[in-house]
Amino acid sequence: MLTLTNRKKVVSDKPMTLMEKIYLPAIVGGMFITFKHLLRRGQTVKYPEQLRPFAPVYRGMHVLKRDEQGRENCTACGLCAVACPAEAITMIAAERKKDEKHLYREEKYAAVYEINMLRCIFCGLCEEACPKEAIFLTDRIVPTEFGRGEFIYGKDQLVEPLDNRIDISKRQDSGKRTK
Ligand code: SF4
Ligand code: SF4
């Protein structure tokens, strides 16, 4: 018969030898493998004291970006919510007032913007859909919580703080987004 790989094993039902029947060599062999691994360097990362380096395209917690003048980029067009396969995004749009031009870049903005992090599958489609370079996924991890309600992230957690801008250049440099 034609074989496609050389991994095929012919199974035989020959009677077990005495050594095989007492299982001792197999047990010793198994213990040897266990001890061999005991002496090896551990692979465990002691998070959160130790952090593993993430790939530049890692998709973690979202950020709603501001422009160079500190105005929110999001115009509450809803395209991210439509693109989201998990229906994790909800928002309420509002009209920008005359004296709010320094707060919001576009005439319409998201008065409420929420992401349910328990629903989110971090696929990045919201980022792809956004025409305003407003939402990005970052290398930040969504922290663990005890209550489900705490995973509904509002603008207070999503919009980048003015005094602590979130760097997304690694993601842009990876070719994921154009600058
Ligand atoms: S990353 Fe995917 S699942 Fe999460 S909010 Fe964006 S589109 Fe929805
Ligand atoms: S984040 Fe982007 S796609 Fe989503 S509502 Fe704001 S501007 Fe539209």
Residue 51 pLDDT = 85
Is 57 inside a domain boundary?
Answer: no
Residue 82 pLDDT = 97
Is the C-beta atom of 124 inside 6 A of ligand 1? yes
The CATH number linked to 79 is 3.30.70.3270
State the residue range of the domain holding 76.
62-173
Is the C-beta atom of 125 inside 6 A of ligand 1? yes
Is 137 inside a domain boundary?
Answer: yes
Give the mean pLDDT per block of 10 residues along the chain (179 residues): 74 86 93 92 86 86 96 97 97 96 96 98 96 94 94 97 90 59
Is 151 inside a domain boundary?
Answer: yes
Enter the pTM of the model. Answer: 0.76
Is 142 inside a domain boundary?
Answer: yes
Q: Do 116 and 145 meet the contact criterion of CB atoms below 8 Å apart?
A: no
Dist. CA 16 → ligand 1 center (Å): 56
Is the C-beta atom of 79 inside 6 A of ligand 2? yes
Is 138 inside a domain boundary?
Answer: yes
Residue 4 pLDDT = 72
Token reading at 81? 């919510």
DSSP state of 166: P
Residue 179 pLDDT = 45
